[in-house]
Amino acid sequence: MTHPLKGIKVLDLSRVLAGPFAGRMLSDLGADVVKLEPPEGDVTRLWGKKVGGISGYYNQQNAGKRNMSIDLRKQPGVDLVKTLVQKADVLIENFRPDVMGRLGLDYETLSAINPRLIMLSISGFGANNPDSRRAAYAPVIHAEIGLIERQSLISQAFPADIAVSVADTNASLHGLIGLLAVLFARETSGLGDHIDLAMVDASVVTNDGMNYALDRVKHIVSNEVYETSAGKLILAGDFKFIWHQLHTFFALEDGLDKSGAPSLEEKITARRAAAAHFFNETCGDRDAVVAALNKMNIAWGDVRKASDVEQLASVQARGTIAQVDDRDGGTRSIPQSPYRFRRHQSSVASGAPHLGEHNREVLEDWLGWSSSDILAVEDALVTQSANGAQGA
């Protein structure tokens, strides 16, 4: 079994999440991904627990990559990127839309050097519009497209950001689809392309409830968490559906005197109380609760801590959490590649690299440079040891 992207060379100039996650997935699929960082490094090198000089957040998004640290504030650094582009298949960046142009690394310049280059640019609001220069992390997009308001309506709480950076990961995954499509098309055309991918576009198209908003229909379906004798469970379906199933399969009644013409609010209150009694008292234990839910064909899930995810049977069976070298003589847990093939392989290759760890190695492998060639660009390169000490 081989990795499907073996032999593909990727320059990853991106930072934080949207770009780095795309690069991580390309690495898992077999591409040689070289992350290019500035001398100060990606800010996520400071996020999470450090083991062997590598933070947890940085490790998750940059595992399997090689690393070069190039100072793009110096012309030799820019020239070196242009030289590497000659050998690259893909370049990923997530600066604001005008930054690459100001560096002299815009698509027009780079495609003239390598017409087969596929450039993926991820930004908050895309290029060439009034919002293009706005700084945009995931929470900004969540707010602007209504996800935070929707969450507030469901929770009946003051607006707060959602607990996962879906705007980043949606952009990353849609970016992957775009560049893989061009990678396929390049086999016929011989030419690369530039993918201008906006987080706002990716998040809007991935929002399955956007149709209600665009049609101006108020439709909030809330999948609720229930206190049960099996613990806290989330049940898939709004309460109206849950009650229908309880009434149909277990003849559950709300106990109201129908002759008194109870109001809708009274009915809902009584039915919720009856449902709570059923799940907490009538069923008795966890096995009985699970059996009842399965009988009603109601999907359910334990509300567990993320740190307990390894207890999930499917996670254990599928090897969803892998172990990589922790750069300190041991191993470290990390999410495994999600792709499972019959005839190909996908897997996290190694832990994340130190800053500039592969400066020399990449120049030798990609460009065939000698020690004297590398010495000539030494001023543009930075290396950092596990203890944080830097040198040329």
The yes-or-no answer on residue 168 being catalytic is yes
Are the beta carbons of 19 and 93 closer than 8 angstroms? yes
Residue type, 220: I
- SS3 label, residue 119: strand
Instruction: Compute the distance between CA of residue 23 and CA of residue 352 in angstroms, rounded to an integer.
Output: 12
Are the beta carbons of 295 and 249 closer than 8 angstroms? yes
The residue from 12, 32, 89, 168 that is catalytic is 168
Going by C-alpha positions, the residue among 118, 101, 129, 121 that lies closest to residue 171 is 121
Q: How many CB atoms lie within 10 A of CB 87?
A: 16
Are the beta carbons of 43 and 62 closer than 8 angstroms? no
Are the beta carbons of 108 and 78 closer than 8 angstroms? no
**Phi–psi pair at 165, nearest 5 degrees:** -80, 65
3-state secondary structure 177-234: HHHHHHHHHHHHHCCCEEEEEEHHHHHHHHCCCHHHHHCCCCCCCCCCEEEECCEEEE
Sequence-separated (6 or more) residues with CB below 8 Å from residue 264 = none
**Phi–psi pair at 230, nearest 5 degrees:** -95, 5
Write out the DSSP string of 275-292: HHHIIIIIS-SHHHHHHH
Q: Indicate which residues carry an active-site annotation.
A: 168
